[in-house]
Amino acid sequence: MEMESFSSLTVTERDQILVEQQVFNIFKTFYNIPPSSQSFMLELQRENHVEYLTNGLKQLGPSFCVLDANRPWICYWILHSIALMDEFVDPELEDNTIDFLSRCQDPNGGYGGGPGQMPHLATTMLQSIHLEKLYSFIRQMKYASGGFRMHDAGEIDVRACYTAISVASLLNILDDELVQNVGNYILSCQTYEGGISGEPGSEAHGGYTFCGLATMILINEVKRLDLSSLIDWVVFRQGVEGGFQGRTNKLVDGCYSFWQGGIFALLKRLNSTRGEKSIPLGDGEDSGPDSSETTASSDATGKGLIEDLSQGGSHIEKGDQHDTSSRVNSKRHAKVKPLFNSLALQQYILLCSQDLNGGLRDKPGKSRDHYHTCYCLSGLSVCQRSWLEDDDSPPLPCAVLGPYSNLLEPIHPLYNVVLDRYREAHEFFTGS
C-alpha cells in the first residue's frame, strides 16, 4: 500500500493491516520451509508451557503484586492450563495454592482478589468450601433487574450473571431466586448485530456473548435468544488470520479462541442428537436416543440455520488448505462439520499465539501472559474436538493440527473446566 493512502487510514485500520502483515509473514515463512520441518513450528511446546505456568504459581505468595486483585483468577488460569496438558503440580505447591485460596475466602462468603480483600464474583469461580455463605454472597450480588453485580456496589453486567449462575450451578446451589429475571436481563443485552453486550445498549462482544449464551443454557432459557442472528454474528468474527476478533472491526486476539470458539462448542451441544446425560447442558431435555448413526442437525434450537451453516462452514474458505471434510468420515469420530475453520484457528494459536519459550499471547509482538495461555489452550482443546459429537472419543489425527501429541484434554464448554475435573466436582456437589 502507498504511504500516502496508509496515513489516511484510521489507527484501527492501520493496526489491522500491520497485524495481518505480521501474521502473513509468519505463515509465509512457515509455508516456505520444507514440510518435514514444519511440524516443529506446529508443535505445542508442552514442557516450556508447564515450566512457565509452574513458575507463575510459585510467585502467588505475599510478594506477588502484579494484578494483585486477580490472584485467585490467576490460580485458575494456571491450574486449568496445566490440567489441559494433563500435567500435575507437585503436592507441596498444590497445598500452598489451596492454602492461599482459602485465605482469600471472605468470612461472609465469596473470594477476594487476595487474602483480606473484598469478595468478588470473578474470583469466586474457584472451588468453595462454605457453600451456605457463598450462596448468601451470590444472593446479595443479585440486582432487581435480574442482573448481578461483580462485587459489593460493583458493576452489573453479563459477566457477573455468568459467574454467579455458573458457580451456583456447578456447586449445585442454583435455585429459582437466583435465576429470576436473569433471562430477561441477558435478552436485553442481545444487540442488533446478533451477539451479546456486557450491559444493555453496549456493543456485542465475544466475551459477553459466551457468558450470555452459557448463562441462558444453564437457566434453561436459551431458546429465548435469537440464535440464528447470534450464529450469524459469531461466524463472521473469524478473521483471515485464522484467529477470532472479539467484536466487529477489531483485531484478532488469541484469547477469543475460547470466548468465540467456546460459543461453537456450546452450539454444537445444543444441536446434538445424542443423549448427553453425563454432560448436561442445562436445558433439561433428553435430546433423544443415543444413536451414533444420526447427524447433528435436528434440534429445535437454531435448527435450519445450523444445518445450512454446517454445509458452508465459516466465511474464510478462501485459502483453506486444511479442509478435512472428505477425510474425516468415521461414524464414531466425526459427525459435525464445525461452523468455524477449526484448522485455521489451530494454526493461528500455534504459529502466532504460541511463545516457543513457554506461554501463549494475544498476537505476535505481544508478551505471553497467564490469561492468554489459559484461553488459547482452552480454544485449542475446543478446536481439536470440533468435528466430534462425543467428547469422550478421541479425535482423528487429521482434526488435530501438528503432531498428535498436541492433543489436549477435553473441557466442559459451559464451565471451561477439564471434563474429568468437572465430573469430579459434579459428583462431589450433587452426590451422583
The residues annotated as belonging to the active site are 205, 247, 250, 253, 255-256, 362, 369, 372
Taking CB positions, which residue lies at the least distance from ligand FPP? 207
Q: Shortest Cβ distance from residue 2 to ligand FPP (Å)?
A: 27
Within 10 Å of residue 397's Cβ, how many Cβ atoms?
13
CA–CA dist 246, 234 (Å, integer): 9
Q: Shortest Cβ distance from residue 254 to Zn ion (Å)?
A: 6
The rounded radius of gyration (Å) of the Cα atoms in the chain is 21
Chain positions 361 to 420 lying near Zn ion, rule: CB under 5 A, are 362
Closest to ligand FPP by CB, 215 vs 386, is 215
DSSP secondary structure string for all residues of 312-324: H--S--TT-TT--
Partner whose binding site includes residue 246, from ligand FPP, Zn ion, none (CB under 5 to 8 Å by kind): ligand FPP
Within 10 Å of residue 232's Cβ, how many Cβ atoms?
15
DSSP-assigned beta bridge partners for residue 149? 156
Q: Shortest Cβ distance from residue 418 to ligand FPP (Å)?
A: 17
Residue with cell 435469537: 226
Q: If binding is defined by CB under 5 A, does position 221 make contact with Zn ion? A: no
Closest to ligand FPP by CB, 163 vs 287, is 163
Q: Shortest Cβ distance from residue 66 to ligand FPP (Å)?
A: 18
Q: Which residues bind ligand FPP (CB under 6 A)?
A: 122, 159, 162-163, 205, 207-208, 211, 246-247, 250, 253, 259
Q: If binding is defined by CB under 5 A, does position 241 make contact with Zn ion? A: no
Closest to ligand FPP by CB, 206 vs 313, is 206
Is the distance from CB of 212 to CB of 158 less than 8 angstroms?
Answer: yes
Closest to Zn ion by CB, 106 vs 362, is 362
Partner whose binding site includes residue 106, from ligand FPP, Zn ion, none (CB under 5 to 8 Å by kind): none
Closest to ligand FPP by CB, 135 vs 256, is 256
Among 221, 253, 369, 389, binds Zn ion (CB under 5 A): 253
Q: If binding is defined by CB under 5 A, does position 255 make contact with Zn ion? A: yes
Closest to ligand FPP by CB, 194 vs 207, is 207
Q: Shortest Cβ distance from residue 261 to Zn ion (Å)?
A: 13
Question: For the chain, first and last CA: distance in Å?
Answer: 62
How would you classify the pairing of strands 156-157 and 417-418?
unpaired
Partner whose binding site includes residue 159, from Zn ion, ligand FPP, none (CB under 5 to 8 Å by kind): ligand FPP
Is the distance from CB of 302 to CB of 267 less than 8 angstroms?
Answer: yes
Q: Shortest Cβ distance from residue 160 to ligand FPP (Å)?
A: 8
CA–CA dist 209, 246 (Å, integer): 9
DSSP secondary structure string for all residues of 109-158: SSBBSSTTPPBBGGGGGS--S-HHHHHHHHHHHB-TTS-EESBTT--EEH
Is the distance from CB of 53 to CB of 78 less than 8 angstroms?
Answer: yes
Q: How many residues touch Zn ion (CB under 5 A)?
A: 3
65 backbone dihedrals φ, ψ, rounded to 5°: -120, -5
CA–CA dist 397, 126 (Å, integer): 34
Angstrom CA distances, 38 to 31, 60, 254, 351, stand at 8, 37, 21, 10
Closest to ligand FPP by CB, 208 vs 348, is 208
Partner whose binding site includes residue 362, from ligand FPP, Zn ion, none (CB under 5 to 8 Å by kind): Zn ion
Span near Zn ion by CB under 5 A; candidates 251-259, 276-284, 383-391, 419-427: 251-259
Q: Shortest Cβ distance from residue 69 to Zn ion (Å)?
A: 18
Query: Helical H runs in 272-387?
Result: 303-312, 342-347, 370-384
- Contacts with Zn ion, residue ranges (CB under 5 A): 253, 255, 362
